[in-house]
């Protein structure tokens, strides 16, 4: 007769503990069926599921484990597992897996309670919970903190659409972001990331800044806002706004370029993507003059944006075709993926406006960043709480993996 036992060991973490316990098990000829270990604030939680053969050598193995743990000042609990329960556990290994990611400035018990309650409501079992963000000082200002908790869950949600809607509602109520994605092979095997520029990589809509300089700021800003919300066709509204800039001196471009601020987390994100071997691109309905400045600053591989027509040092109020609109962005994502020999599942797209939705829907990971409500609801994932480097958490990267 064989015996299946779950051994749980808890206590102060110390070197050599795993070696000591497995050494005792080895003497009894024990087979390991499952194992897991976590350390939280120097306190160890170690679980090991074992199959103990019915032999003379194995007869005292649990007593020896207890004695060894006692010497190491650890607490031990033994839980017998029936063969039927073990077989049921084995049969569950083919179930789909998903990742739920909580992004917040400061992690609270209420946030974890809401996320875990929703996962349970839709029939998902939580297998692992990990903190991806770094250790946070107690006196960290609320707006500068960065917290990320990742839940690995097993099963298929009873109603995926309703689950996403509920996560979105809770995220808005708690002022956090909650991402839900399939835990697939592609999650850690993406190699191309494309970005909108205005209000995504930079904290401004450049066309609005140009309009202010031309004295038509309010008029253009209103059209921009409606276009980003999806109320106006991008191409038509773009031409309408651009026409109002006719006669503006090209000298203004340099002044505006010098005043543009990168979005929080942009430099960290691009440094990490480069370290991981990603190709990066700007796919923007903005202007190449500013996109090329960002390309030089962040080391971006490709730039596709709109070229302002300038004659005798002044803007003519038109852009040189082809105009980069919503469809063009999606087409460019396809072309770049093909050029790099990648499947679309291996791509990331990040943007904030309605004209970004086609490329966000096409990419393996589409992220609406600090986006309008319509865009947040339509995109696969959304980040509004943290900076751009929050994208790294959606890839499963920890702060200690390299980024801060």
- Catalytic residue ranges: 196, 198
- CA angle 134/137/138 to nearest 5° reads 135
The DSSP code sequence of 160-196 is HHHHHHHHHHHHHHHT-EEEEEE--GGGG---EEEE-
Tokens of 200: 């995504």
C-alpha dihedral over 67, 69, 73, 74, to 10 degrees? -130
Q: How many CA atoms lie within 13 A of 1 on its CB side?
A: 4
Distance CA 356, CA 373 (A): 13
Tokens of 82: 């029936």
Work out the burial of residue 388: count CB atoms within 10 Å of its CB; fewer than 13 is exposed, 13-18 middle, 19 or more buried.
buried
Distance CA 109, CA 113 (A): 6
């Amino acid at each position: 007769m064989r015996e299946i036992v779950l051994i749980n060991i808890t206590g102060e973490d110390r070197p050599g503990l795993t070696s000591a316990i497995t050494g005792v098990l080895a003497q009894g000829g024990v087979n390991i069926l499952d194992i897991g270990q976590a350390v939280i604030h120097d306190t160890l939680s170690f679980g090991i599921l074992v199959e103990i053969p019915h032999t003379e050598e194995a007869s005292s193995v649990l007593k020896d484990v207890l004695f060894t743990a006692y010497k190491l000042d650890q607490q031990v609990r033994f839980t017998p597992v029936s063969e039927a329960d073990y077989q049921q556990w084995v049969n569950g290994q083919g179930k789909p897996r998903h990742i739920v990611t909580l992004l917040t400035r400061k992690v609270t018990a209420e946030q974890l309670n809401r996320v875990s309650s929703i996962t349970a409501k839709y029939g998902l079992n939580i297998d692992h919970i990990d903190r991806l963000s770094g250790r946070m000082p107690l006196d960290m200002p609320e707006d500068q903190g960065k917290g990320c908790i990742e839940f690995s869950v097993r099963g298929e949600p009873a109603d995926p659409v309703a689950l996403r809607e509920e996560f979105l509602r809770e995220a808005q109520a708690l002022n956090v972001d909650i991402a839900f994605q399939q835990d697939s092979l592609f999650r850690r095997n993406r190699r191309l990331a494309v970005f909108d520029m205005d209000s995504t990589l930079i904290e401004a809509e450049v066309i609005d800044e140009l309009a202010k300089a031309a004295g038509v700021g309010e008029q253009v800003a209103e059209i921009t806002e409606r276009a980003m919300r999806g109320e106006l066709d991008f191409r038509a509204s773009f031409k309408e706004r651009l026409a109002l800039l006719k006669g503006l001196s090209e000298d203004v471009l340099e002044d505006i370029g010098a005043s543009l601020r990168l979005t929080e987390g942009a430099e960290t994100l691009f440094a990490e993507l480069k370290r991981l071997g990603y190709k990066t691109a700007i796919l923007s309905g903005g202007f190449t003059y500013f996109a090329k400045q960002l390309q030089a600053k962040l080391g971006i591989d490709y730039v596709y944006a709109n070229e302002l027509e300038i004659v005798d040092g002044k803007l003519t109020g038109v852009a040189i075709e082809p105009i980069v609109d919503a469809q063009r962005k999606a087409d460019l994502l396809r072309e770049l993926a093909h050029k790099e020999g990648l499947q679309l599942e291996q791509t990331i797209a990040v943007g904030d406006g309605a004209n970004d939705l086609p490329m966000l829907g096409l990419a393996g990971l589409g992220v609406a960043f600090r986006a309008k409500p319509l865009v947040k609801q339509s995109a696969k994932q959304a980040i509004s709480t943290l900076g751009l480097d929050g994208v790294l958490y959606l890839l499963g990267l920890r702060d200690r993996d390299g980024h801060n």
